[in-house]
Each structure stands twice: as C-alpha cells, then as structure tokens.
Amino acid sequence: MGELDQQYLTSFLQTIVFFFIRGDMKNLQALNEVLHLYSEGTGQRINFQKSSLFFGDKCPEQVKDRVKSYINVRNVVVQANYLGMPSWVGRSPTSTFNFLPERMWRKIRSWNGRPLSRAGKEVMFKSVIQAIPIYVMSCFRLPAAICDKMRTTISNHWWGIEEGKKKMHWRSWEWLTAPKAMGGMGFRDMQIFNQAMLGKQAWRILTVPNSLCARVLKGRYFPCCSFWDASQPRSSSFTWRSIMYDGAAGSWNEEMVRACFNEDDAEKILQIPLCHTPCEDFPAWLHTKSGIYTVKSAYFLARLESFHVFLGENGRGETSDQSKISKSWKRLWAIQAPPKMKIVLWRMAHDCLPTGSQLKKRHILDFDACCFCGREKTVEHVFFMCQFASEIWRQVRKCFNINYKMHASANIRHWLFDFLEAAEDHEATVFAITEWHIWESRNAV
C-alpha cells in the first residue's frame, strides 16, 4: 500500500468521503465494488440513509434516476454548504455568496442598542465582521458585487445609520481601508484581501506539489505542464478560476515577462543573465525575509499599490515625503490616550468632522456660524481659535505646561503633525484628551 493510499485510507476512516464518478453503469459498478471491498475489509457497513448524492446541473434526469436506484441513496443535495463553504457555485456566483454580506449585516444588527463609540465599532468590525468572509475567501474569488455589498455594510455602519437612513460618509472607502500609517483607518479591502488569500493557495500548489489538493488540481487542469503554464478554460471550476486569477508571473520566457511586468521592469529582468549551473528553480517571495509567501505581506503590497494609484488619481502626490507623513500618522496612533480620542484627532487631521464649514460645504447646512461666538466654524476655530476653546487651552496650559501656537492660516494637519513631532508623550496625551473634551462638549450644546 503506497503512502498516498494510506493517507487516503486514514481520511476515509476519520471523515466524510466524497466520490466523484460519471453516471454510467461501469462507474457505478466500480463504485459498488469499492464500497463492498471497504465493508468486507473493515467490517464497517455504510449507512446509505445518511449518504447523499450531488448531481451536476446538466445531468439528465434518467441518469439521476439510474444512479439513485443503483446505489440506493435517495437523498439528493440541491444547493448545500459543506463545512461552511458552498459546495456548488452555479451560474450566479453573486447569489451563491450573498449569505456573506447578509451574515455581516445580521451580526451588526444584533449589536443594535449597544452604545458603541467609534473606537468600539472599529474593534468590532475588525475582529468580528471582517473575519466572517475569511474562510470562504481562502478558496473562492468573491464576485465584485459581493465585495461591494460587504464594503457598504461596513462603511454605512461605521459612519452611522439613523432611522434607517445612512449618515454622511466623511471619508471615502479608500481612506478607511488605507493603512493607519498612511492616514487611513486600516479596515480591510475585501477584494484585495481575497486576492492575497488566493495567492496562498497558488503558493501551496507551487511549493507543496505532492499535497493531495495540488495533485488533484494538477491531474484535472495541468497534467502535462507547470502551474505557471496552466490555462484557465471556461469550463473549469469556480475554485480553479479563483486560484488562477491574476496568477501569472514570469520566468525568462520573454513573452511572459513582458506580459507580466511594466516595460522598464521587463527590460531589466530580461537583461539579468540566466544561471547555467544545474540547480532546481524554486519559488521565492520577495516581500518577506524568509522568502515564503504570507497573506499579510501580499495584502500590504497590493493595498499600498492601489492606494498610491488612488493618491495619484486624486492629485495628492504626497509620495515624495511619504516616510515623513507615515511617521506622523504613526505618532498620532501611538499617543497614549483612549482610541476614541485618537479617532477625533484622525478626523481633525482629515478635516472630516461635522464642523459648520464642512456641513455648509457639503450642502447639509446653509450657515457655518459658531454656536458660541457666531464666527465661521472651521476645524481650527472649533479646536483652538474659538473663545470657548482658547479659554480651556489657557487653563490646560497653565496646569500641564504645554507650549503650542496656533496660526489662523495654518493647515490643520501640518500644524497637528508638527505639534506631535515636537511634543513630549505627556503633552500629546493631554492634547488628545483636551481636544476630545472640547469636541464632545460642543456637541452637547
């Protein structure tokens, strides 16, 4: 008995077994023989009452009847989940995977009535809601419509829903999913994360070619070539198409290199002389120290790339001093203060708090006057210039010995970053707490 047979027998005894057969008599007889042999050999009997049949969508009725009566199994599975995964993806993948955004929505709804701060929501979304589709995403490429639905569910509830109406989304999804060190909130972009997870499957097929899964897929889809050269026929399963998605990379096959890399990179790759010593090629992942693919590194890489595209498209070419900006954001998130207060600072830096001037700009209100002094209610005014704020700051400065100067013309984010860079840890903490209280007490008026 070979090693694979033993592995197979072990799994046969421990868990549920699937047989994939054609519905003709030859196959049915062979299956019957196998089952009979198994019973004889192990002394165990198969419970046909607990067994189920599953037919492909194009299987003719008479074949179904033949199989049912020959094997004596009546239970036919129409559309089922197996261990939480859809066992059949039909013509409409969107309806197959619709249960994911629905499950997210139900979970969020079950928290209704619990007063969660935005920081509390952040934790719940990141640790509970975003985890819901992960298992399915490790095998299937979810349709864009499903990713959109999940995105809408998260962003609507993050910004808030009141009496069934969604509230203003003060920052785009791009910003919510950007890494925190780049000014985002670090939520997960489902589509990119899905791609990174499927990359792991491709990596396994490449690096563990003897695994049962890799051998089954090889036998079915690329029996005579390598994984890189495998095609993606229209008739292939949804799982295979998911793994093959974006799954091409280069060796020194010029056509392949040019197809996969931008012009400059392709030229450079092609100029690298090939090694002629007889050694086996092996896959190595450039973006981890160990050379082993990780979902985290792949996600980070892809997310960063798409974020740079977003910045470029929106005319925010801040890439030149990106490391400085990143240091500033990290400093903000490292302040020792409750997370909800740091989120107010994050919104202050983005100028995306519902101040009078922002509400007017977005046509929600037609006046932008401060409720205390009647002056224009900009973010700078709210936190520093207004008499209400400056009086609080005067007292706080006295108690905690904080030196800060606010210029009316300064850009709030630049000012904030400069302040945080120069501030001692305790000053940053006092700053975050004070600003949060100023904001909250204003909202209470």
Give the shortest CB-382-to-Zn ion separation in angstroms. 8
Give the shortest CB-378-to-Zn ion separation in angstroms. 10
Burial 359-391 (b: 16+ CB within 10 A, else e): bbeeeeeeebebeeeeebbbbbbbbbbbebbee
Q: 3-state DSSP call for residue 343?
A: helix
Considering only the stretches 54-62, 308-316, 328-336, 366-374, report the one whose residues sit in contact with Zn ion under the rule CB under 5 A: 366-374
Give the shortest CB-325-to-Zn ion separation in angstroms. 30
CB 352 within 8 A of CB 135: no
Interaction pattern, residues 74-113, with Zn ion; x per rule: CB under 5 A: ----------------------------------------
Distance between CA atoms of 28 and 17, rounded to whole angstroms?
16
Q: Does 17 bind Zn ion (CB under 5 A)?
A: no
Considering only the stretches 22-30, 172-180, 229-237, 383-391, report the one whose residues sit in contact with Zn ion under the rule CB under 5 A: 383-391
Q: Report the candidate in 293, 87, 329, 54 with the shortest Cα–Cα distance to residue 196.
A: 293
Q: Report the candidate in 368, 361, 435 with the shortest Cα–Cα distance to residue 396.
A: 435
* Cα→Cα distances 238→58, 205, 243, 378, Å: 16, 17, 9, 52
Kindly give, in sequence order, each residue whose CB lies less than 8 Å from that of residue 77, ignoring residues fewer than 6 positions away. Answer: 52, 53, 54, 87
Give the shortest CB-387-to-Zn ion separation in angstroms. 6
Considering only the stretches 153-161, 179-187, 348-356, 372-380, report the one whose residues sit in contact with Zn ion under the rule CB under 5 A: 372-380
Q: Does 34 bind Zn ion (CB under 5 A)?
A: no
- Residue at token pair 């198969």: 46
Distance between CA atoms of 351 and 402, rounded to whole angstroms?
23
- Residue at token pair 């192990």: 42
Give the shortest CB-433-to-Zn ion separation in angstroms. 21
Residue from the set 67, 332, 370, 430 that interacts with Zn ion by CB under 5 A: 370
Q: Which two tokens stand for residue 240?
A: 């295979």
User: For residue 86, what are the β-bridge partners?
Assistant: 81
- Whichever of 324 and 361 has its CB closer to Zn ion, that residue is 361
Q: Report the candidate in 163, 176, 155, 168 with the shortest Cα–Cα distance to residue 112.
A: 163
Q: Does 372 bind Zn ion (CB under 5 A)?
A: yes
Give the shortest CB-312-to-Zn ion separation in angstroms. 38
Q: 3-state DSSP call for residue 80?
A: coil
- Whichever of 67 and 389 has its CB closer to Zn ion, that residue is 389
Considering only the stretches 133-141, 200-208, 212-220, 363-371, report the one whose residues sit in contact with Zn ion under the rule CB under 5 A: 363-371
Q: Does 376 bind Zn ion (CB under 5 A)?
A: no
Q: Which two tokens stand for residue 109?
A: 């709804």
- Whichever of 335 and 389 has its CB closer to Zn ion, that residue is 389
Give the shortest CB-439-to-Zn ion separation in angstroms. 13
Amino acid at 208: V
Considering only the stretches 206-214, 236-244, 248-256, 378-386, report the one whose residues sit in contact with Zn ion under the rule CB under 5 A: 378-386
Residue from the set 142, 244, 345, 386 that interacts with Zn ion by CB under 5 A: 386
Give the shortest CB-372-to-Zn ion separation in angstroms. 4
Residue from the set 270, 373, 407, 425 that interacts with Zn ion by CB under 5 A: 373
Q: Footprint of Zn ion on residues 122-151 (CB under 5 A)?
A: none
- Count residues near Zn ion (CB under 5 A): 4
Give the shortest CB-373-to-Zn ion separation in angstroms. 3
- Whichever of 386 and 438 has its CB closer to Zn ion, that residue is 386
Give the shortest CB-99-to-Zn ion separation in angstroms. 50
Amino acid at 265: D
Query: From the CB of residue 255, how many other CB atoms can be counted at a distance below 10 Å?
Result: 8
Distance between CA atoms of 239 and 237, rounded to whole angstroms?
5
Q: Does 438 bind Zn ion (CB under 5 A)?
A: no
What's the gap between Cα 384 and its chain centre? 38
What's the gap between Cα 28 and its chain centre? 43
Interaction pattern, residues 322-361, with Zn ion; x per rule: CB under 5 A: ----------------------------------------
Interface with Zn ion (CB under 5 A): 370, 372-373, 386
